[in-house]
Amino acid sequence: MEKFKEMKIVVLDADTLGEVPAIDNLKQLGDLVKYGFTKPEEVLERLRGVAVAITNKVVLSKEIIAQLPDLQLICVAATGTDNVDVAFAMEKGIPVKNVKGYSTDGVAQHTFALLLHLVNKLEYYNKYVLSGEYCKSRIFTSLEQPFWELNGKTYGIIGLGAIGKKVATIATTFGARVIYYSTSGLHDDPEFERVELEELLKQSDVVSIHAPLNEKTRGLIGEKEFRLMKKNAILINVGRGGIVNEEALIDALNSGRIAGAGVDVFEKEPMKPESPILKVKNKERLVVTPHIAWASIEARNRLVEGVIRNIKEWKEMKAKS
> Would the CATH topology of 2-100+297-320 be identical to that of 104-288?
yes
| Measured distance CA(239)–CA(159) in Å, rounded | 9
Q: Is the dihedral of CA 84, 85, 86, 89 positive or negative?
A: negative
Tell me which CATH homologous superfamily contains domain 104-288: NAD(P)-binding Rossmann-like Domain (3.40.50.720)
**Hey, which residues does 154 pair with through a beta bridge?**
177
Residues 114/92, Cβ–Cβ less than 8 Å: no
2-100+297-320 classified as CATH 3.40.50.720: yes
Query: Residue 1's pLDDT is what?
Result: 43
Split at pLDDT 50, 70, 90, the class of 5 is low
Domain boundaries, the chain: 2-100+297-320, 104-288
Query: Residue 215's pLDDT is what?
Result: 93
Taking only Cα atoms into account, the Rg of the chain, rounded to an integer number of angstroms, comes to 22
Residue 3: pLDDT above 60?
A: no
When pLDDT is averaged across residues 114-127 and rounded to a whole number, the result is 97
Q: What is the dihedral of CA 141, 206, 263, 277, to 10 degrees?
A: -90
Query: Residue 82's pLDDT is what?
Result: 86
Q: Using one digit for the tens of pLDDT, what is the confidence trace for 214-231?
A: 999 999 999 999 999 999
Q: Note the pTM of the prediction, 2 decimals.
A: 0.92
| Measured distance CA(81)–CA(224) in Å, rounded | 29
Active site residues: 240, 269, 291
